[in-house]
Every structure is written in C-alpha cells, then in structure tokens.
Chains A and B, each alone.
Chain A
Amino acid sequence: MATASVLQARSAGFSFENCKRNALVEANATDLGLRVPTARKTGTTICGVVYKDGVVLGADTRATEGMIVADKNCSKIHYISPNIYCCGAGTAADTEMTTQIISSNLELHSLSTGRLPRVATANRMLKQMLFRYQGYIGAALVLGGVDCNGPHLYSIYPHGSTDKLPYVTMGSGSLAAMAVFEDRYMPDMEEEDAKRLVRDAIAGGIFNDLGSGSNIDLCVISKGKVDYLRPHDEANKKGVRVNELDARPQAGSYKYKCGTTGVLTKAVTPLHTELVEETIQTMDTS
C-alpha cells in the first residue's frame, strides 16, 4: 500500500512511548473508580559499618507494596563482586536491576584490567548511572567491600550523590538504625562487636518502623573472606509474639479445649448400605 510510512529506527533502552497515555489514564482513573498499581518498594532498614578488618552490612527482609507485606523474606544484600556487596532500599526492581547491571559491568572491567575490582569503581559506576536518570530510578544503596586499599563503605542516593563514611544507614528505618549507631559506634571494633552493633541497629529499625520487619541478614566482608549470614537473626517468627522487654514467647492459642461446649443430647443413626453392583476397570500401566 502506498500509504505505508517508512519506519524510523527504534532506539534501544528506555522507551517513553506510553508516558502520555499513562498520564491520561492516571488523571482519569479516579473518575472511573480505578486504582493505579503501585510499585513494590522495599521500605527498608539497611546499614553498614567499617570495623577493624573489614565491613559489616546488614538489612531487614521485608518488602512492602503500599500497606501490604509483599515478601516476608526477601534478600536485600546483593552481590556485586566477590569482595563487594551492596544493600538496596527503595523500589525493589530498581535496586535489583541496577546492582545486577553494575555487577556485570564490574566483572567485565575486572576481566579487562586483570585485577580485583575496587569499591570506588563500583561507587563511580553507580553514581554516574543514577545521575543520568535524574532520580527516576529509585535506588538508595549502601555499598561496602574490601579491596587492595582496605575496607570502604559508601552510601548512594537515588539522585546520584554519594558519601564515604565509617557507618551509614538508609531506608525508611534509617533514623532508628542511625540512633543506635550514633550511641555505640567506635572506630576499629572487633568483628563480634561490629556484628552485634549492626544486628541491634537493624532490630531498632524493625521494631520501630512499619516498613521494615521479619529477619535480619548480615554480610561480613573481610580480606579474602565473605560471610553471608542469611538469616542471622529471626527477630520476627510467624506465630510467635515476643515482648522485647520480657523475652518470653506469649503466643496465644485460640483453639478450644475438648469438652468446652457441654453436650445436651446425642442421637446416633446407623446408615445401612447394600452392595448393588461391582465392576472392575483395569488400568493401562504399559
């Protein structure tokens, strides 16, 4: 047909074709009584601390979708390279895809240079990508690892700014976790002290923030060794209610004992059945 138009080359990457249509639908959705689906966020507490020999990263394990818990045990500590791990808060898909892309790029880079990747490289790659998308990729990250220059810890915000600090927290429970850090952080801690500190910081976020909950995951990175402890501490077991002050399980049982309801009368009618017909159908078991 002569009216066929010549197709312009489709560019790869993000496509903005449906943005106008989506804006229109969103504007008219409330009139029609529809709800726009929300993205799944991790509504999180993540934190990290630098200790004597390395870095300890911690995260809770709850993923929320609005007011509903979408995943009771999701893994928020992502692998970037054998010596670098990254915790992610914000939109779950964004943190997942961003860390996977950076992990692939870092692997290619380390194959090209022939050296173990540095945490500063991962930090630079992440901040350049997040700045390019001007904060539309909602990924707030805590990046930690040990390389040839020692242990490093960075926090990366969705718009692309980064901070290099000895202890960082991110996510909706970050204030609760930071309160614990500000009280008890000391430079050059031992590994056990650092693990206990991170565990308590995440627990502070879990018990004081609605968006965080379930278990506590830890990742201890030191020179040549990574301990991925998942779960390190099951702070919220399903079916067990623990009062933090008493530390006694107060799970209520809602089953009624046998004999709670008094029996007034009892009538038993036996049903007699007669065998009328019996047929056998063989199964084809060949």
Chain B
Amino acid sequence: MQNTRGLRSQLKDSVPVTGLCPQAGTYGVPDTLRRGFSSVKNELLPSHPLELSEKNFRLNQDKMNFSTLRNIQGLHAPLKLQMEYRAARQIQRLPFLQSSNLALDTLRGSDDTIGFEDVLNDPELSEMMGDPHVMVEYKLGVL
C-alpha cells in the first residue's frame, strides 16, 4: 500500500504504543498478524537516542532540500521533482525481492556517494525473507 500523504505526515516522530496508536492497523486495533506480539515496555521508549532521528533522516533531508528549492526557484521545482520521485519509487520488483532502486538513487544523487547504509545491513544480504505468497497477498489486499 503506498502512503500517498505528504512528507510531514510520514515522519515517525514517536515509537508506537500498544493499543493506543498502532501503525496502520485496521479499525485501530494492533495488527498482531503483521507486527507480531507487542509489549508495552519494549515499545514505550526508543531503544537508542539515535533510533528515531536515523529512521527519519532521509525524509528530513528531503524536506529541507525541497523547501530550500521552493524558496529559490519557486513552487514548480519541488513539485516536478516530487512527481519524478513518486514515479521512480514505483519501479520495484515483486514484494518479497529487494529492488536496486537505481532510478531513485540517480534522482536523489546517492548513486555517487557511499554511506553506512551501503556498508552495514545491506537488505540484499539479509538472512530473513518474507514468505512470498503471504507478501504478495498482503500487497494485493487479499490477505
């Protein structure tokens, strides 16, 4: 399911608390099938001070860059770019396979930079994989 809301609403500015605001569960009920068991103690606080800022880092950078671009060149510039981002983000493989995101990387300019996200925890080398059937059904909304 694509999140079609703007950048600001996509920010994760808190860790989900059980029963109070589960993320994107149907009817506002915690989604145990998809998120697993949850305990209040584990989810009340972030486990590391950097956890939240790292989760939102790319989003915050994009926000800053788009707002600077809007101030310099006018509204059309970030609008056009965001449209291209949205188009590039749709080029994906099947839901359980990791896609290279080459178009998205080129647009962002991260195809000629190296950071910790290229060295540590590469999703292509992850040991766990979602069950293909379940993931496709979830994507199609059949599950």
A residues in contact (CB < 8 Å) with B: 3-7, 9-17, 19-20, 23, 97, 101, 104-105, 108-109, 112, 129, 132-134, 136
A13's nearest neighbour on chain B, judged by CB, is B117
B79 at the interface (CB under 8 A from A): no
A15's nearest neighbour on chain B, judged by CB, is B121
B26 at the interface (CB under 8 A from A): no
**A-facing mask of B37-62, CB < 8 A → 1, else 0?**
00000100011111101110100000
**Which residues of chain A come closer than 8 Å to B114, judged between CB atoms?**
101, 104-105, 108
B residues in contact (CB < 8 Å) with A: 32-36, 42, 46-51, 53-55, 57, 96, 112-123, 126, 128-131, 134-135, 138, 143
A134's nearest neighbour on chain B, judged by CB, is B50
Candidate in B34, B50, B143 with the most chain A CB atoms within 10 angstroms: B50
Q: Indicate if the CB atoms of B47 and A10 lie closer than 8 Å.
A: no
Given contacts A6-B138, A16-B47, contact A11 B55 (CB under 8 A): yes
Shortest distance between the CB of A221 and any CB in chain B (Å): 24
Give the total number of A-B pairs whose CB atoms are below 8 A apart.
Answer: 83
- How far does the alpha carbon of A112 sit from the alpha carbon of B113 in the complex, in Å? 11
**Which residues of chain B come closer than 8 Å to A15, judged between CB atoms?**
120-121
- How far does the alpha carbon of A6 sit from the alpha carbon of B137 in the complex, in Å? 10
- How far does the alpha carbon of A134 sit from the alpha carbon of B50 in the complex, in Å? 8
Shortest distance between the CB of A6 and any CB in chain B (Å): 5
**Which residues of chain B come closer than 8 Å to A112, judged between CB atoms?**
112
**Which residues of chain A come closer than 8 Å to B121, judged between CB atoms?**
10-15
Q: Indicate if the CB atoms of B42 and A20 lie closer than 8 Å.
A: yes
Q: Indicate if the CB atoms of B47 and A105 lie closer than 8 Å.
A: no
Q: Indicate if the CB atoms of A5 and B123 lie closer than 8 Å.
A: no
Q: Indicate if the CB atoms of A14 and B55 lie closer than 8 Å.
A: no
B118's nearest neighbour on chain A, judged by CB, is A12
**Which residues of chain A come closer than 8 Å to B122, judged between CB atoms?**
12
Shortest distance between the CB of A48 and any CB in chain B (Å): 26
Q: Indicate if the CB atoms of A101 and B135 lie closer than 8 Å.
A: no
Q: Indicate if the CB atoms of A16 and B48 lie closer than 8 Å.
A: yes
Q: Indicate if the CB atoms of B47 and A20 lie closer than 8 Å.
A: yes
Provide 8 A-B residue pairs closer than 8 Å at the C-beta atoms, listed in order of the A residue.
A4-B134, A5-B36, A6-B131, A7-B128, A17-B47, A20-B42, A101-B116, A134-B53
B111's nearest neighbour on chain A, judged by CB, is A108
Shortest distance between the CB of B18 and any CB in chain A (Å): 15
Shortest distance between the CB of A79 and any CB in chain B (Å): 16
Shortest distance between the CB of A167 and any CB in chain B (Å): 32
**Which residues of chain B come closer than 8 Å to A132, judged between CB atoms?**
53, 57
- How far does the alpha carbon of A15 sit from the alpha carbon of B120 in the complex, in Å? 8
Q: Indicate if the CB atoms of B130 and A7 lie closer than 8 Å.
A: yes
Given contacts A6-B138, A15-B121, contact A105 B113 (CB under 8 A): yes
- How far does the alpha carbon of A97 sit from the alpha carbon of B115 in the complex, in Å? 10
Shortest distance between the CB of B53 and any CB in chain A (Å): 8
Q: Indicate if the CB atoms of B135 and A7 lie closer than 8 Å.
A: yes
B96's nearest neighbour on chain A, judged by CB, is A7
Q: Indicate if the CB atoms of A7 and B50 lie closer than 8 Å.
A: no
Other-chain residue from B35, B49, B54, B113 in contact with A5 (beta carbon distance below 8 A): B35
Shortest distance between the CB of B75 and any CB in chain A (Å): 28
A102's nearest neighbour on chain B, judged by CB, is B114
Shortest distance between the CB of B79 and any CB in chain A (Å): 27
- How far does the alpha carbon of A270 sit from the alpha carbon of B32 in the complex, in Å? 86
**Which residues of chain A come closer than 8 Å to B49, judged between CB atoms?**
134
Q: Indicate if the CB atoms of A10 and B57 lie closer than 8 Å.
A: no
- How far does the alpha carbon of A65 sit from the alpha carbon of B129 in the complex, in Å? 38
Given contacts A108-B113, A132-B57, A136-B50, contact A4 B118 (CB under 8 A): no
